[in-house]
Structure 1
Amino acid sequence: PADIVETGWSGFYMRVLEEGFVRKNDSFILLEKGEKQLSILHINNIRYHDRTNFDAIEEILSVKVLASDWQKPFRKLWLKKGNG
């Protein structure tokens, strides 16, 4: 976790929408990209280093498919600003 905070690099993330099994030689195919293509690097930078960039926080929170565990820290920052 300290390396993620320092560098912003956290690896590749995928969200599981349907349970199933993945075998060693299975492949992944990107079916679609979201309307906003925010990188994990950008999101980590805002979360750990640029916590008063409320324009970026608002943009991150507008991504409705972002997992709720990822939304929580940004909602807290948003509320600290006095937004409801």
Structure 2
Amino acid sequence: METFELLLTLLGACVALAVLARALDLPLAVTLVLGGMGIAFIPGLPSLVLDPSWCWRCSCRRCCRSAPTAPTGRPSATTSGPS
């Protein structure tokens, strides 16, 4: 359960950093990188080791599902022929 609690804490930190970025009118990416660097230097935080199959199920599989399929060999309606 320690991993789940740590993930929830990190999610809360991301939300807090997003609110801070909006309040200070800073780019979100810069704020998240600086916040992540700050979190990395906190002593005593446990290492977070995630199961690779869990990461695959949560993120990568959605990207692969929306990938275009192989072409059928027929020209599409938007092509105008050789140019």
Shorter-normalised TM range: under 0.3
TM-score, normalisation: structure 2: 0.23
The structure showing larger relative contact order (alpha-carbon pairs under 8 Å, at least 6 residues apart) is 1
Whichever structure has more helix as a proportion of its residues is 2
